[in-house]
Amino acid sequence: MSELSYVHGASDKPLIGQTIGRYFDDACARHGQREALVVRHQGVRLSYAELRLKVDSLACGLRRLGLVPGDRVGMWSQNRLEWTLTQFATAKAGLVLVNINPAYRRSELEYALNKVGCRALVLSPSFKSSDYLAMISDLAPELGHCEAGLLRAHRLPSLEMVIRMGGERTPGMLNFDDLLRPPTRDELGELELLGEALQFDEPINIQFTSGTTGNPKGATLSHHNILNNGFFVGEAIRLVPGDRVCIPVPLYHCFGMVMGNLGCLTHGATMVYPAEAFEPLAVLQTVAEEKCSASYGVPTMFFAQLDHPDFAGFDLSSLRTGIMAGSPCPIEVMKRVIDRMNMTEVTIAYGMTETSPVSFQSGTDDPIERRVSTVGRAQPHCEVKIIDNEGRIVPRGTPGELCTRGYSVMLGYWGDEAKTAEAIDRAGWMHTGDIAIIDDEGFCNIVGRIKDMVIRGGENIYPREIEEFLYRHPKILDVQVVGVPDKKYGEELCAWIIVREGERLSEDEVRTFCQGQIAHYKIPRYISFVDSFPMTVTGKIQKFQIREKMKQTLGLEDAATA
């Protein structure tokens, strides 16, 4: 009988049995004089000792407002010092940090605040084209005539406090910097006592998952979930005290606040923010000038850096390691990152918000071919199985749905027991919706989403396989493949292609490239050349939007399977 697709990340390193606050205090004591945080666009440099002083001040300031353990505090901002202070201060005060996407607009903000019942909202005045102050004032016009901290808003019934960043004052709002006044000895003593009472299985963070249909769901994560995941992600890339990690990914996402901030905290490394949001030039400058030893990003971010016209002018020799994650990582891009950015130990990570986030990660000493073609092996203390449509574990090498179980699985979706039960079964397995294959050595390959799989005339086609093939074409910079309705075959393949700058490419050239190399039914019927793909703030391609756009463009109706 062939071996089944079940793996367990065995480890001799134990899980951390502390809250984030207690671990933070210990880490700051161990690494007091090391640089903890660099925020380039704000001119901020803090040692671990200095960071703790500010975090303790903010934690006491939040408690001074009457916030108590379990209260939800929204954070709506780009990457800034205040984001990180709030992340650690809420953890120390037992408050639940609610990450709000910087791209959200009025209706999305209203939904998020009301869904989880935020008592307080910390916000930046504005970001890019978003005027946050105007949007919150539209939702809560009562701010214009209420006392700061005593909001009673008809449309936002749970929200009592709006805390704005920046030096200016806005009617009805508190100022962030006012909460940083030095705490009294009694306040620090009370914070210490509270820290001893908090438990690591309590909720500490809510992140909204970007669903393709319906409203986002609030994945609720504990201290234990994200502190341990940050630690083991850092272990996988061999972070050590004194390492400097460039973090251009958004803090509101697990990639930034868990893999970035908590990964650094648990290893005495330096968190380095190059800009408020991703800018390829800022990342290249930061890595070179700050001598970063690691860098994080989604594939599109690495694309932008490698293809920047000034790329060759930057000394990236300090780089050693890092993580590429967030969406499928093209093999050719991975090879270029290793060869041209000096990231010889770069790893691929796979996961989802609901699993804190990482379940699989490649190792720095895995063979290059394994690192560029798989997402590695199961993370320590994580169980994974691959199942068929009837829930049975499939043999190694057989595709099926990836399920994971262990410390990293979320507590549930906030206020939604039905959705939680759909995602996490009675045995504690989180059903990811991703189609994966585990080989005989335990390496995992993600071949698509259950919803993305294309069934053409009875043949199961995984778009990822075709994308990887098309990446080999020297004129193709990026490509996404989706299925669109077809009356004869049920579905047909459609490829959206971004051509390299200065190059020309025709549909016939693409099809000729495919002829004789991949099966005829895998050659895209429809090919469209585009300048960009629809994507989330974190760089995840929104294939459903590509599919809908092509249905409209081609005049296709949903067709019954042939």
Q: What is the 3-state secondary structure (H, E, C) of 346-392?
A: CEEEEECHHHCCEEEECCCCCCHHHHHHCCCEECCCEEEEEECCCCC
> What's the rounded mean pLDDT across residues 68-80?
98
pLDDT class of 371 with cuts at 50, 70, 90: confident
Scanning 67-218, the segments in alpha helix (DSSP H) are 81-93, 106-116, 132-139, 185-197
User: Cβ neighbours of residue 180 under 8 Å, at least 6 residues apart?
Assistant: 54, 57, 58, 61, 85
pLDDT class of 51 with cuts at 50, 70, 90: very high
> What's the rounded mean pLDDT across residues 206-230?
86
Domain pair 6-15+211-449 / 20-33+44-199, same fold: yes
Statement: residue 402 has pLDDT above 60: yes
20-33+44-199 has which fold? Rossmann fold (3.40.50)
| Mean model confidence pLDDT for the chain | 94
pLDDT class of 317 with cuts at 50, 70, 90: very high
Scanning 157-262, the segments in alpha helix (DSSP H) are 185-197, 223-236, 254
Statement: residue 560 has pLDDT above 60: no
Scanning 398-538, the segments in alpha helix (DSSP H) are 417-423, 463-470, 507-514
Write down the pLDDT at residue 561: 30
Write down the pLDDT at residue 559: 44
Higher confidence at residue 104 or residue 406?
Answer: 406
> What's the rounded mean pLDDT across residues 408-420?
97
The CATH architecture one would assign to domain 6-15+211-449 is 3-Layer(aba) Sandwich (3.40)
CA pseudo-torsion sign 366, 367, 372, 378: negative
> What's the rounded mean pLDDT across residues 420-426?
97
Write down the pLDDT at residue 396: 98
Write down the pLDDT at residue 490: 82
pLDDT class of 538 with cuts at 50, 70, 90: low
Write down the pLDDT at residue 506: 97
What pLDDT, in 10s, does the model give residues 123-167?
A: 999 999 899 999 999 999 999 999 999 999 999 999 999 999 999
Q: Superfamily assignment of 456-554 in CATH? A: ANL, C-terminal domain (3.30.300.30)
In the chain, domain spans: 6-15+211-449, 20-33+44-199, 456-554
**Distance, CA of 185 to CA of 182 (rounded, Å):** 9
Give strand pairing partners of 351: 358
User: Cβ neighbours of residue 132 under 8 Å, at least 6 residues apart?
Assistant: 76, 77, 123, 124, 125, 126
Tokens of 423: 């995602």
Write down the pLDDT at residue 213: 45
> What's the rounded mean pLDDT across residues 70-91?
98
Write down the pLDDT at residue 329: 74
What percent of the chain has pLDDT above 70? 97
DSSP string, 521-558: GGS-SEEEE-S---B-TT--B-HHHHHHHHHHHHTPPP
Statement: residue 537 has pLDDT above 70: no
